[in-house]
């Protein structure tokens, strides 16, 4: 699913990606980015990770339902991990897979999987129940990358299933060397917001 965010100026407020309004541009972790309007944004260092810097975004009240039956949606609605990495590494860490790595040609004559409408070099995401979604190329002046959707199972705080839905993932890498990678993931019902955010990223020159 390729999307092209058309920017429309209404009363000096940008409107992008299905009506997502964006707040002012801010700088964290060596990148410049805009969060959805009204979202709390903070810089943090992920635990148990080699990522040195990350950005978390969330609207007021995100994941704060105190009931045990509430869906567990994580600390942030949108996260961006920023680190030094190559394009292929960033794509794989974001959850993208080259088709040739998972292609199976059964000897019994069963259909090839994934089907031949997927080329060997295509990038895909593979979510719950092995549902494949084709990745799409995205780019801005300072970077090139991929974006796509994953079909995920959501869980309640007590552990039961809360249903299935799609989340957005993206991996972008700076055009200049040494390369800077940004991996983005969205929470539940944040697809439009995440698509708007990733298109605003500017990777700043290293000092």
- Residue 132 resides in a domain: yes
- Residue 126 resides in a domain: yes
Longest Cα–Cα distance in the chain: 63
- Residue 29 resides in a domain: yes
Greater confidence (59 vs 207) lies with 59
- Residue 1 resides in a domain: no
- Residue 3 resides in a domain: no
Q: What confidence tens digit (pLDDT) does each residue in 108-143 have?
A: 989 999 999 999 999 999 887 788 899 999 999 999
Residue 11 has pLDDT above 50, yes or no: no
- Residue 2 resides in a domain: no
Task: Please give the residue range of the domain that contains residue 153.
Answer: 8-203
Q: What confidence tens digit (pLDDT) does each residue in 151-201 have?
A: 888 888 888 888 888 899 999 999 998 899 999 999 988 999 999 999 999
Name the H helices within 72-159.
87-94, 99-102
- Residue 20 resides in a domain: yes
Quote the pLDDT of residue 207: 64
Q: How far apart are CA 69 and CA 150, in angstroms?
A: 24
Looking at the structure of the chain, the number of domains it has is 1
Contact 76, 187 (CB under 8 A): yes
Q: What CATH number has the domain bearing residue 20?
A: 3.40.1000
């Amino acid at each position: 699913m390729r999307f092209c965010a058309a920017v429309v100026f209404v009363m000096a407020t940008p409107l992008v990606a299905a009506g997502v309004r964006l707040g002012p541009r801010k700088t964290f972790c060596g990148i410049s980015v805009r969060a959805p309007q009204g979202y709390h944004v903070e810089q943090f260092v992920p635990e148990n990770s080699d990522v040195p810097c990350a950005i978390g975004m969330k609207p007021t009240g995100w994941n704060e339902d105190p009931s045990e039956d509430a869906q567990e949606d994580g600390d942030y609605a949108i996260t961006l991990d920023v680190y030094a990495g190559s394009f292929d590494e960033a794509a794989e860490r974001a959850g993208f897979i080259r088709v040739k790595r998972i292609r199976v040609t059964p000897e019994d004559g069963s259909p090839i999987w994934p089907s031949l409408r997927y080329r060997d070099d295509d990038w895909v995401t593979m979510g719950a129940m092995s549902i494949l979604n084709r990745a799409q190329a995205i780019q801005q002046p300072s970077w090139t990358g991929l974006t796509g959707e994953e079909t995920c199972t959501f869980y309640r705080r007590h552990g039961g299933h809360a249903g299935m839905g799609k989340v957005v993932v993206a991996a972008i890498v700076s055009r200049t060397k040494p390369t800077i990678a940004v991996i983005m993931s969205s929470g539940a019902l944040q697809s439009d917001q995440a698509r708007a955010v990733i298109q605003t990223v500017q990777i700043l020159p290293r000092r």
